[in-house]
Amino acid sequence: MEKVLIKQRLKLYNKYVLIKNNLFILIIPIMLLLSGCYPVLPFTNLSDFYIPDDLYFSDTIEALDTPQKTCDYMKENFTPCENPEHDWNPYQMFVYKFGDCADYCCFAAFVANYHGYKTYLVYIISNDISAHMITVYIVNDSYNYSNWDMYICKQAESIKEILDGFYPVMSYTVYDCDLNIVILP
């Protein structure tokens, strides 16, 4: 009788674990959406973005000729927030002055790319199932990055080296400014 009771409890426990695991798999996409970043890139190809006929915007872009200046500008002028309803292009970010990590990355990557920097957008899924984006710049043959409005002169040898010291990364994808997936050594 006792062995039968133990087997029944074990069977119930196994069903519980199966249901719990399946619920976890269903909850992951919901958690990603609620984290403020999307599992797909929230903006269009940056090479399709053209500077609008706005002298103040074009003068500002011209003045932000280094990633450090761009990050300083974003720190002084933009407000970080969860922004799942809107996907700003660089001009909209400039006008509305708030956005999520993807909006910051889009603005920073556009400005750096405009000034001739080799620039990458890195979409990160962390071990806690949250999503985030950073912008990576190649400066003097080394990799530096910005996280929101902070420019970090890491002088790393690779994007992987940046991520190893930055985030508990489960996976990441690297994009160029044309939103092509890039495989880097």
Q: Given pLDDT bands bounded at 50, 70 and 90, which one contains residue 23?
A: very low
Q: Return the HEC string of 104-171.
A: HHHHHHHHHHHCCCEEEEEEEEECCCCEEEEEEEEECCEEEEEECCEEEEEEECCHHHHHHCCCCEEE
Residue 78 lies in a domain: yes
pLDDT of amino acid 3: 54
Residue 19 lies in a domain: no
pLDDT of amino acid 18: 47
* Share above pLDDT 90 across residues of the chain, in percent, rounded to a whole number: 50
Residue 45 lies in a domain: yes
Average pLDDT, rounded, for the chain:
80
* Share above pLDDT 70 across residues of the chain, in percent, rounded to a whole number: 73
**Sign of the dihedral through C-alpha 38, 34, 90, 142:** negative
pLDDT of amino acid 183: 82
Residue 65 lies in a domain: yes
Task: Give the mean model confidence (pLDDT) for residues 36-59.
Answer: 72
Q: Which residues does residue 181 pair with via DSSP β-bridges, in sequence order?
A: 175
pLDDT of amino acid 25: 41
pLDDT of amino acid 13: 53
Task: Give the mean model confidence (pLDDT) for residues 166-179.
Answer: 85
Q: Given pLDDT bands bounded at 50, 70 and 90, which one contains residue 15?
A: low
Alpha-carbon distance of 32 to 51, in angstroms, equals 32
CB 184 within 8 A of CB 54: no
Q: What is the domain-level CATH number for residue 98?
A: 3.10.620.30
Residue 21 lies in a domain: no
Residue 97 lies in a domain: yes
Q: List pLDDT tens digits, range 131-141.
A: 889 999 999 99
Query: pTM of the full predicted structure?
Result: 0.75
pLDDT of amino acid 78: 96
Q: Given pLDDT bands bounded at 50, 70 and 90, which one contains residue 31?
A: very low
pLDDT of amino acid 68: 97
Structural domain containing residue 122: 35-175
Residue 29 lies in a domain: no
> How many folded domains does the chain comprise?
1
Does 151 score more than 60 pLDDT?
Answer: yes
Residue 84 lies in a domain: yes
Q: List pLDDT tens digits, range 78-113.
A: 999 987 677 888 999 999 999 999 999 999 999 999
Does 14 score more than 90 pLDDT?
Answer: no
For helices 67-77 and 101-114, what crossing angle results, to 10°? 140
C-alpha 172: how far from chain center = 9
**Sign of the dihedral through C-alpha 38, 39, 40, 41:** positive
